[in-house]
Amino acid sequence: MRESGRRVGLILAELREMIKPGLETRQLDCYAEKRILELGGVPAFKGYNGYPASLCVSINEEIVHGIPSGRRLKEGDLVSLDFGVIYGGFYGDAAITVPVGEVSEEARRLIEVAERSFYQGLEYLKEGNHLSDISAAIQTEVEKAGFSVIRDFVGHGIGRELHEGPQIPNFGLPGHGPKLKKGMTLAIEPMITSGHYEVAILSDNWTAVTRDHSLAAHFEHSVAITESGVEILTANDKKWRP
C-alpha cells in the first residue's frame, strides 16, 4: 500500500505543477499514464467499470469522474485531479483540487475547506473510534464554512480492491458504523460544493456535476491506521527512491 500510495502522491504533485491556462485536460491524463508505467505500476481507473482514462479531471461545477478531453483549462478554473494506481496487487487513490491561475476568493476558500475538512476527519482516525466520527467531523467543518457536502459519493476501504467496505460518507452523526482498528486502510475523500449538494450525471454517463452549477472541490488520501498512529499513504514524500 505504501508503494502504490507514494506513486499516486508523486504523480499528483507533478500534475499540480503542470496546471496552467491553455493545457488540454487529456495532456494531464497522458502524463499520468506514462509516468505510472515508467515508475512501475498500473493506472487503476482505466477500464474500471468501463472508465476510459487513467485520470479523472473535473472542472468547476464538475464534482468527480470528469473525463479528460481536448478541453483546455482557462484562467479562473478550479480543477480536481483524481488518480489511482495498482502496484504489487495493492491500490492507492488520492485527489487534489488546484486553481488555474488567479481564481475567485470563493474558489480559493472552497479548496482550503475541502482540504481542512479532510484533516479534521483524520483527527478521528484512531483505534476504538467509530467510522462515522470521521464523517461527522468532515461535515461539521464544511458546513461551518457555509458549504455543502456531497451525499451521492463517499469514501471507502481500499486494499486489494479500489473500493472495499466500509463506505465512508462525508456526513452523518458521530458514534455509528464499524469501530476503527489498526491495520485498516481507508480512502477518505470529502467532495464539497459552494451551493447545494444535489448531483446530476452528464450524458457521457460519468461526469458528476452540481445540479445548481455551484463550484465543487475534492480532496482525498489513502490512509492507514498503524501501530504508531495514522499514516498518509498517498503523501508526496518528495525524494523518489526506485
- Which residue lies nearest ligand MF3, judged by its C-beta? 51
The residue among 111 and 154 lying less far from Co ion, judged by its C-beta, is 154
Taking CB under 6 A as the rule, does residue 151 contact ligand MF3?
Answer: no
Applying CB under 6 A, which of residues 33, 61, 82, 141 lies at the interface with ligand MF3? 82
Per DSSP, the three-state class of 27 is helix
With contact defined as beta carbons under 8 Å apart, do 219 and 155 qualify?
A: no
Q: Please, what's the b/e burial string for 161-183 (b: 16 or more CB within 10 A of its CB; e: otherwise)?
A: ebbbebebbbbbebeebeebeee
What residues between 3 and 32 interact with ligand MF3 by CB under 6 A? none
Strands 62-64 and 229-232: unpaired
State which amino acid sits at residue 131.
Answer: L
How many residues touch ligand MF3 (CB under 6 A)? Answer: 13
Select 45 or 171, whichever has its Cβ closest to ligand MF3.
45
Nearest-approach distance from CB 35 to ligand MF3, in angstroms:
17
The string over 207-242, giving b where at least 16 C-beta atoms fall within 10 Å of a residue's C-beta and e elsewhere, is: bbbbeeebbbbbbbbbbbbeeeeebbbbbbeeeeee
Query: Which of 93, 133, 171, 184 touches ligand MF3 (CB under 6 A)?
Result: 93
- Binding segment toward ligand MF3, per CB under 6 A, in 45-53, 120-128, 143-151, 175-183: 45-53
18, 28 Cβ separation under 8 angstroms? yes
User: Residue 56 or 106: which CB sits closer to ligand MF3?
Assistant: 56
* Contact pick of 36, 56, 142, 184 for ligand MF3 (by CB under 6 A): 56
Stretch that binds Co ion, among 53-61, 64-72, 88-96, 107-115 (CB under 5 A): 88-96
- Check if the beta carbon of residue 191 is closer than 8 Å to that of residue 139: no
91 is a contact residue toward ligand MF3 (CB under 6 A): no
Site residues for Co ion, 183-202, by CB under 5 A, read 187
Closest to Co ion by CB, 64 or 103: 64
Residue 173 and residue 136 in contact, taking contact as beta carbons nearer than 8 Å: yes
At residue 87, φ and ψ (nearest 5 deg) are -140, 130
Block residue for cell numbers 476510459: 52
Binding mask 89-108 for Co ion (x = CB under 5 A): ----x---------------
DSSP class of 49: G
For position 137 contacting ligand MF3 by CB under 6 A, the verdict is: no
- Any contact of residue 169 with Co ion (CB under 5 A)? no
Q: Which residues bind Co ion (CB under 5 A)?
A: 93, 187
